Chains A and B, each alone.
Chain A
């Protein structure tokens, strides 16, 4: 089980109706995490993942940091996530 710190900024806060939450998951990548979170926050998948390319939508950003690391923008949705990581959805 991985415990993540999730942050929702601006339009994503409107989508999730939340600013931030602690979330537990067994998923291994950002892609899988988004898919799982979509059930909880409908529309998240549509917001972030381009249905044609499977890549991150060009008008969104995700910042990810492993525990103790500085969050950085991530373009590759197959980026692995670790216990204690932080994810900011922009």
Chain B
């Protein structure tokens, strides 16, 4: 069964998930939702907390993906079966070691090719 999984480090705190979720029942946008972003003081941590199995009352995505997952810009939320969830998590962890870009976005949300071989020690640049 598919569930919603969280990569905390990728959450940028935008609260699209919380805001859209809150609106699904009555068209009212608020902070009351089945997912909320805990922001400990200091503005540096954003922690998604979920109380949901992903069966939106009326998802806004055509394919029925849970709304929070469909609106999340970074891929901090993803929707998968358990085995696939493990694989995806590992994909992100590996990608993050290879490219700094994946500090801010999940590789499955990045629609462009990227360098995948062993990490270079430093980015090269020529001397003039």
Alpha-carbon distance A11/B123, docked complex (angstroms): 13
Interface SS, B side = loop
With beta carbons under 8 angstroms apart, the residue of B99, B114, B124, B125 that contacts A43 is: B114
Q: Judge whether B101 is part of the interface by a CB distance below 8 angstroms.
A: yes
Q: Could you mark each residue 89-128 of chain B with 1 if its beta carbon is under 8 Å from any beta carbon of chain A, else 0? A: 0000000000101000000000011110100100111100
Q: Could you mark each residue 37-73 of chain A with 1 if its beta carbon is under 8 Å from any beta carbon of chain B, else 0? A: 0000111101100000000000000000000000000
> Which A1-24 residues have C-beta < 8 A from chain B?
11, 13-22
Pairwise interchain contact B114-A14, C-beta atoms closer than 8 A: yes
Query: 6 closest A-B pairs (Cβ-Cβ)?
Result: A43-B113, A17-B115, A19-B125, A14-B101, A14-B114, A20-B125
Enumerate chain A interface residues (CB-CB to B < 8 A): 11, 13-22, 41-44, 46-47
